[in-house]
């Protein structure tokens, strides 16, 4: 064979391997494994459930009901096993090796095997992701050796279901999409000025009243706002939430709930005006922006919100509980004699220190149950609570300050991770909140700021993409805004920095988008 032919074969082979996010190491070898009725899935007791998961992934498109067995009688098998010697791959790494008779997926943990399975799916033709039988496709896996592990432990996607309620079926689809991209945190933004979406048994009005607004602004806020005249709302029952958490856990996704306080809470105040500074009856907000109506940080409110968090902790097993803390206008605190007296009595400097004091009360409460508080970077103002982790959204400055002060950080800067921003020329795109964040810019992001020392950089847990839904009324548009930017973010979160390459990513993405087609994801086409 002359060199030209070898080179051509090489590129054709590489064309068959388009894994997103890009693995740490891939080596193609000779041959191929063809999935067929004789293929068995071989598991040990610790990988049995994962074997069932793999069989369920492969069945709809192929029509094959592959048996999941304890030991292989045949000579054509996919073998899933834990291997205690693979400590170097870390708690989420894996090894996949494919030769014509055998696929082996090995890892130190079940999470690792799960990620190996995700990679294996991507080694098959994209149609494997179809939920319906696909004919005329040969289910081929190229012979390959892959060793892989993630760069960051927090690989997150957020979804705001307060501005627009998203049906529960879509929450499941979103979690599936996270898992395909080896993302492992679903940040569920459950409460805000425009809606309260989580059932709380002790305070039923939170959803009876707070889950519904009488109408919604059309377009952007302005002096002459127009409304649609249609009630909007919905909430998730505690039973639905338990099921979502269980479903996510089976896909190695931790669901991080966010309950906003002491601002972004007008829906809660509509339900329980006594939580507010003024005590006045407000309605669930019907337009976009930040409400001036915030919580009174007194003992009544603290007890109330801790009751809410108690129910939240029963539903969610996430070590982290998100308490919001962003964008709290302080005018009502400034104007309130009661709040000013509190500031004096507590010996605090100002309203920022009061907010910090309030957040500290939540921090110690969560800590007493073995949980960790996480909040948006405003929780730095007035002093960071001792156990707090910071989600840095107004750029990286908050994250840098927190890491330098020995606190953990999740990078979520609006400059690179806000998927409610335009992804192309606004004149050619559906209405969005503003901003400009093309795919390439997401991809270029490095979550570790160069101003941190190595020790400080260890506090960067990872990175997260945000989907705020003021201008995203339904799942189809969530998909349009989130994909393919979330694919780029997945690679930011997973792939070692030195292996990132935008051109290589884009060529893999072309294949990857066929997978999203097979799933039925309304992503924005790349041009």
The contact set with ligand ACM (CB under 6 A) reads 326-327, 376, 393
Token pair recorded at residue 339? 């709040």
* Residue closer to ligand ACM, measured from CB, 326 or 381: 326
DSSP code per residue over 141-204? EEEEEEEE--S-SEEEEEEE-SSS---HHHHHHHHHHHHHTT--EEEEE-EETTEE-B--TT-T
In the bound state with ligand ACM, the residue whose beta carbon lies nearer, of 359 and 516, is 359
To ligand ACM, the closest distance from the beta carbon of 327 in angstroms equals 5
For residues 201 and 35, give the distance between their C-alpha atoms in angstroms, rounded to a whole number. Answer: 50
- Residue number with CB closer to ligand ACM (358 or 393): 393
| Cα distances (angstroms) measured from residue 481 to each of 297, 444, 476, 477 | 36, 18, 9, 6
Taking the least distance from each CB to ligand ACM, the nearer of 42 and 481 is 481
Measured from each CB, the residue nearest to ligand ACM is 326
Where on the phi/psi map is residue 35: left (φ > 0), alpha (ψ -120 to 50), or beta? Answer: beta
Comparison of 187 and 232: residue with beta carbon closer to ligand ACM:
187
Min dist. Cβ of residue 495 to ligand ACM (A): 26
Task: Give residue for tokens 């679903």.
Answer: 186
Q: Which is nearer to ligand ACM, 13 or 290 (CB)?
A: 290
Contact 399, 390 (CB under 8 A): yes
Query: Minimum distance from CB of 377 to ligand ACM (Å)?
Result: 8
C-alpha distance from residue 452 to each of 61, 400, 401, 413 (Å): 47, 7, 10, 16
- Compute the distance between CA of residue 267 and CA of residue 283 in angstroms, rounded to an integer: 7
What residues does 243 pair with on adjacent strands?
Answer: none
State the minimum distance, in angstroms, from the CB of residue 278 to ligand ACM. 23
4 to each of 7, 10, 224, 232, 401, how far by Cα in Å? 5, 10, 67, 62, 54
The whole-angstrom distance between residue 465's C-alpha and the CA centroid of its chain comes to 7
Output the smallest distance, CB 464 to ligand ACM, in A. Answer: 11
| CA–CA dist 373, 324 (Å, integer) | 10
Residue 34: phi, psi to the nearest 5? -110, 120
Residue number, 162 or 183, with CB nearest to ligand ACM: 162
DSSP class per residue in 335-398: H-HHHHHHHHHTT-SSHHHHHHHHHHHHHHHHHHTT-EEEEEGGGGTT---TT-EEEE-SSSHH
Contacts of 394 (CB under 8 A, 6+ apart): 377, 413, 414
Helix axes 168-180 and 502-519, enclosed angle (nearest 10): 140
CA angle 174, 175, 176 (to 5 degrees): 90
Query: What's the closest the beta carbon of residue 431 comes to ligand ACM, in angstroms?
Result: 18
The SS3 call for residue 102 is strand
Q: Measured from the CB atom, is 147 or 192 closer to ligand ACM?
A: 192
Cis peptide before 21 (omega within 30 of 0): yes
The tally of CA atoms less than 13 A away on the side-chain side of residue 34 is 5
Closest CB to ligand ACM among residues 180, 412: 412
Smallest distance, ligand ACM to C-beta of residue 325, A: 9
For residue 68, the surrounding DSSP H or E stretch is strand 68-69
Catalytic residues: 192, 264, 327
């Amino acid at each position: 064979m002359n060199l030209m032919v070898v080179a051509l074969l090489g590129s054709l082979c590489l064309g068959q391997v388009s894994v997103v996010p890009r693995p740490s190491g891939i080596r193609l070898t000779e041959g191929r494994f063809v999935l067929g009725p004789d293929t068995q899935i071989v598991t040990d007791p610790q990988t049995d459930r994962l074997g069932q998961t793999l069989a369920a992934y492969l069945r709809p498109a192929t029509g094959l009901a592959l048996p999941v067995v304890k030991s292989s009688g045949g000579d054509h098998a996919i073998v899933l096993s834990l291997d205690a010697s693979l400590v170097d791959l870390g708690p989420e790494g894996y090894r996949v090796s494919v030769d014509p008779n055998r696929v082996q997926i090995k890892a130190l943990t079940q999470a690792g095997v799960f990620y190996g399975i995700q990679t294996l799916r991507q080694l098959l033709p994209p149609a494997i992701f179809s939920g319906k039988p696909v004919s005329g496709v040969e289910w081929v896996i190229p012979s390959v050796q892959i060793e892989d592990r993630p760069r960051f432990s927090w690989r997150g996607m957020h979804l705001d279901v307060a501005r627009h309620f998203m049906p529960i079926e879509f929450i499941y689809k979103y979690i599936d999409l996270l898992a395909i991209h080896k993302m492992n945190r679903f940040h569920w933004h459950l409460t805000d000025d425009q809606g309260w979406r989580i059932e709380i048994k002790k305070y039923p009005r939170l959803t009876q009243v707070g889950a519904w607004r009488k109408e919604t602004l059309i377009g952007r806020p302005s002096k002459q706002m127009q409304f649609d005249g249609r009630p909007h709302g919905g909430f998730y029952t505690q039973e639905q939430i338990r099921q979502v958490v269980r479903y996510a856990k089976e896909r190695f996704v931790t669901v991080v709930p966010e309950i906003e306080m002491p601002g972004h809470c007008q829906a809660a105040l509509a339900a329980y005006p006594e939580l507010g500074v003024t005590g006045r009856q407000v309605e669930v907000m019907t337009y976009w922006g930040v409400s001036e109506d915030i919580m009174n940080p007194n003992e009544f409110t603290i007890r109330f919100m801790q009751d809410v968090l108690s129910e939240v902790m029963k539903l969610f097993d996430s070590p982290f509980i998100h308490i919001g803390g962003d964008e709290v206008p302080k005018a009502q605190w400034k104007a309130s004699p009661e709040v000013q007296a509190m500031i004096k009595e507590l010996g605090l400097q100002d309203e920022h220190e009061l907010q910090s004091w309030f957040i500290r009360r939540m921090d110690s409460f969560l800590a007493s149950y073995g949980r960790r508080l996480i909040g948006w970077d405003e929780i730095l103002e007035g002093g960071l609570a001792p156990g707090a982790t910071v989600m840095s959204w107004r750029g990286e400055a908050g994250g840098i300050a927190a890491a330098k002060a020995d606190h953990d950080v999740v990078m979520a800067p609006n400059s690179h991770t806000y998927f409610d921003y335009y992804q192309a020329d606004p004149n050619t795109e559906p209405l969005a909140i503003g901003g400009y964040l093309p795919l390439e810019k997401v991809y270029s992001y490095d979550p570790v700021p160069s101003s941190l020392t190595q020790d400080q950089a260890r506090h960067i847990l990872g990175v997260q993409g945000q989907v705020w839904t003021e201008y995203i009324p339904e799942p189809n548009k969530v998909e349009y805004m989130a994909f393919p930017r979330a694919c780029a973010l997945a690679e930011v979160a997973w792939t070692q920095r030195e292996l990132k390459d935008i051109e290589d990513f884009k060529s893999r993405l072309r294949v990857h988008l066929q997978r999203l087609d097979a799933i039925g994801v309304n992503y924005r086409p790349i041009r």
